[in-house]
């Protein structure tokens, strides 16, 4: 059994077009019924503001599949530790024996989550983007922007976070990395008012975006709501949107932005598309530049298996 540590994985696995296309293929496989994916196993540790998730999926035709254990402890900055951790086991689908351990400390989860955001934006956002709005200033806020840059060009970024110091540092880093203007907003409403595309990357349990703030033509990628108690979007935004897409409808009914909108009957479940429907048919559903589109991304075991297989194959070739 091979064991790869975080440093080696980070050296060889980056957010690139190959990663994005692999995650896209995963969505297609999920929609086509080629994946065996159990429900998420989740453990909440409220006294330490922590959570641990286990996700997995076998994709028919692949010789291995991933079992991912991922943690998020959101007060870890006080301890001088990263907020995310975890690892992926790669298990043979032929004989059931372990193939590899990818001790990535959550890095591969971050990469595949960002890649999913890029897939959603590629299929849903307008082709011409001037300003990207970001709610949040952590690791995923950075990776989502990096992945987006592989599928869309943009000239400005406006970001908001509850901690002013963090968002100012984020904007400074973004300006330097992409050689564009990045400004810190005073609030989330200011972000929404100036953005063509909005990415929400928070752990919020209350909406950070309101229906009244959303301009015609906006695309929203919401990726922070991956548990029943989390919510980044006012459910009225789901009702307002012309097109709503999710990664996996059964999962989003339980823990995504869709959950409350469906509970309140603000949206018909049958009108919601799965991302795999778009990737399978290479279909971009916008009918107008003024359409409002929303992607509700909760993260699937299929994404974990896809990124684990790509990482293992690349590492086996380059590291041995």
Burial class (CB within 10 angstroms; exposed 0-12, middle 13-18, buried 19+) of 121 = buried
Phi, psi of 164, rounded to the nearest 5 degrees? -60, -40
- Ranges of beta strands (E only) in 5-128 are 35-36, 41-45, 50-59, 64-73, 84-92, 98-102
How far apart CA 97 and CA 92 sit, in angstroms, is: 5
Q: Of the candidates 13, 11, 10, which has an alpha carbon nearest to the alpha carbon of residue 23? A: 13
**Candidate list 68, 280, 282, 284, residue with the active-site label:** 68
How far apart CA 62 and CA 33 sit, in angstroms, is: 14
Neighbours of 176 (CB within 10 A): 10
SS3 label, residue 199: strand
Indicate if 280 belongs to the active site.
no
Query: Which are the contacts of 113, defined by CB distance < 8 A and separation ≥ 6?
Result: 140, 143, 144, 223, 297, 299, 303
Residues classed as catalytic: 68
């Amino acid at each position: 059994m091979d064991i790869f540590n975080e440093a080696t994985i980070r050296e060889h696995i980056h957010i690139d077009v190959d990663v994005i296309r692999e995650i896209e293929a995963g969505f297609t496989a999920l929609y086509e019924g080629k994946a065996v994916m159990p429900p998420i196993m989740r453990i909440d540790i409220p006294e330490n503001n922590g959570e641990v998730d286990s996700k997995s999926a076998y994709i028919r035709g692949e010789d291995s599949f991933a079992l991912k254990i991922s943690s998020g402890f959101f007060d870890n900055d006080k301890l001088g530790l990263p907020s995310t951790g975890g690892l992926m086991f790669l298990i043979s689908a032929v004989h059931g024996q372990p193939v590899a351990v990818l001790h990535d400390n959550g890095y591969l989860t971050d990469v595949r989550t960002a890649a999913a955001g890029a897939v959603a934006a590629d299929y849903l956002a307008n082709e011409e983007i001037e300003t990207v709005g970001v709610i949040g200033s952590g690791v995923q806020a950075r990776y989502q922007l990096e992945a987006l840059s592989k599928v869309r060009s943009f000239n400005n970024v406006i970001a908001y976070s509850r901690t002013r110091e963090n968002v100012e540092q984020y904007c400074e880093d973004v300006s330097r990395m992409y050689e564009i203007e990045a400004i810190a907003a005073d609030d989330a409403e200011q972000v929404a008012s100036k953005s063509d595309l909005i990415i929400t990357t928070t752990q919020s349990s209350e909406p950070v975006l309101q229906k009244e703030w959303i301009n015609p033509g906006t695309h929203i990628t919401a990726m922070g709501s991956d548990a029943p108690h989390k919510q980044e979007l006012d459910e009225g935004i789901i009702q307002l949107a012309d097109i709503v897409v999710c990664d996996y409808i059964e999962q989003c009914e339980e823990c995504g932005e869709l959950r409350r909108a469906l509970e309140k009957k603000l949206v018909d479940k049958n009108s919601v598309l799965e991302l795999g429907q778009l990737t399978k048919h290479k279909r971009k559903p916008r009918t107008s530049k003024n359409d409002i589109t929303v992607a509700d991304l909760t993260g699937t075991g299929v994404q974990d298996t896809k990124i684990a297989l790509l990482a293992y194959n690349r590492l086996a070739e380059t590291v041995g």
